[in-house]
C-alpha cells in the first residue's frame, strides 16, 4: 500500500480530478510520520515540473533520502538518462515517468541502463469525446492518442518494469478505483500494476486487489484525510489490518 504525495511549490497538495489543489503541509514532515507508521513505500510527484520544463528538485530528493526509512520513488520532469542517474544517486529507488514515456527510445535506454525495476511509467487516463478512454500526459493536459491497454503493452515491450494506472476522473473523489480500467491494464501485461485514483477506504483497495488484479494499491487522499470533513491527518493502516483485509 503506497501513499502518493503531490508536490507543488515545495509544499504537499491534494487534488480533485487533477484540479483544485489544496495545501496539505510540509513533505519532509510527512515522511517522518510515514516512517513512524511503517509505510511500505512512498511516491512523490512534482505536478508542475514537466509544465515548467524542469526536473523534480534534487535537493528535495536528497532530503527525502536522508529521512525516509522505506523505499521511495519520484517523478516530475524526468527526461534524460542523466536525470535518472542523479535521482538514483540522491537516494530514490525508482523513477516515475509520464510525459516522456512517449519517447520510446528514452524509455528503452532507461530500462537498459538502470534495469526495468527502476523504471515506472504512470498512465493517466480520462475519457475523450464519445467516451473513449485515452492516456494523457502533461498532468492530464495532452492526449497521447493511445488507449490504456495499448499504452501499457507498449511500455512493457520497451522494458518498463512497473505501471501506475491512474484515473483522472476518480482522482480525489474517494469513491473507489476505476476497477474496469485497472483490470484491463492488469490483463494486458505481465509486469506489476499499481492502482491509483479514487481510494477512500480499505475496502476499495481490497476490490482493486481481488477484482482488478492490482499488484500494488496506491492512494493520496486516503492517507492524508480523516473523517467526512476531510481533516488533515496523515495515516496508514496497521500491518495486521492489511493482512487480515486481503486474506478475507
**42-46 and 2-8 beta bridge pairing:** parallel
Backbone angles phi, psi at 169, to 5 degrees: -70, -20
Buried b (16+ CB within 10 A) or exposed e, 156-187: bebbbbbbbbbbbbbbbebebbbbebbbbbbe
- List beta partners, residue 119: 95
What single DSSP character describes residue 116? G
Whether 36 is catalytic: no
CA–CA dist 4, 16 (Å, integer): 14
CA–CA dist 174, 204 (Å, integer): 9
Q: Where are the alpha helices (DSSP H) in the chain?
A: 27-36, 58-67, 81-89, 104-114, 148-157, 179-188, 202-211, 221-224, 239-247
Kindly give the interhelix angle for 27-36 and 58-67, rounded to the nearest 10 degrees.
Answer: 20
End-to-end CA distance of the chain: 17
User: Of the listed 36, 59, 83, 124, which one is catalytic?
Assistant: 124
Give the residue numbers annotated as catalytic, written as ranges: 124
Amino acid at each position: 500500500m503506497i501513499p502518493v504525495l503531490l508536490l507543488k511549490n515545495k509544499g504537499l497538495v491534494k487534488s480533485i480530478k487533477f484540479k483544485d489543489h489544496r495545501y496539505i503541509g510540509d513533505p519532509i514532515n510527512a515522511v517522518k510520520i510515514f516512517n513512524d507508521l511503517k509505510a511500505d513505500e512512498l511516491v512523490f510527484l512534482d505536478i508542475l515540473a514537466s509544465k515548467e520544463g524542469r526536473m523534480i528538485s534534487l535537493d528535495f530528493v536528497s532530503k527525502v533520502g536522508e529521512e525516509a526509512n522505506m523505499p521511495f520513488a519520484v517523478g516530475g520532469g524526468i527526461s534524460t538518462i542523466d536525470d535518472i542517474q542523479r535521482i538514483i544517486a540522491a537516494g530514490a529507488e525508482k523513477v516515475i515517468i509520464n510525459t516522456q514515456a512517449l519517447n520510446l527510445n528514452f524509455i528503452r535506454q532507461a530500462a537498459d541502463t538502470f534495469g526495468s525495476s527502476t523504471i515506472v511509467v504512470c498512465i493517466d487516463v480520462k475519457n475523450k469525446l464519445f467516451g473513449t478512454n485515452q492516456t494523457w500526459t502533461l498532468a492530464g493536459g495532452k492526449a497521447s492518442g493511445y488507449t490504456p491497454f495499448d499504452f501499457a503493452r507498449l511500455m512493457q515491450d520497451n522494458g518498463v518494469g512497473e505501471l501506475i494506472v491512474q484515473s483522472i476522473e476518480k482522482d480525489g473523489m474517494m469513491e473507489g478505483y476505476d476497477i474496469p480500467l485497472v483490470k484491463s491494464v492488469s490483463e494486458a501485461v505481465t509486469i506489476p500494476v499499481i492502482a491509483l485514483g479514487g481510494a477512500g477506504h480499505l475496502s476499495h483497495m481490497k476490490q482493486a486487489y481481488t477484482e482488478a488484479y492490482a499488484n500494488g494499491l496506491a492512494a493520496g487522499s486516503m492517507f492524508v484525510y480523516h473523517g467526512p470533513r476531510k481533516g488533515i491527518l496523515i495515516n496508514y493502516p496497521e500491518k495486521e489490518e492489511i493482512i487480515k483485509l486481503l486474506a478475507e
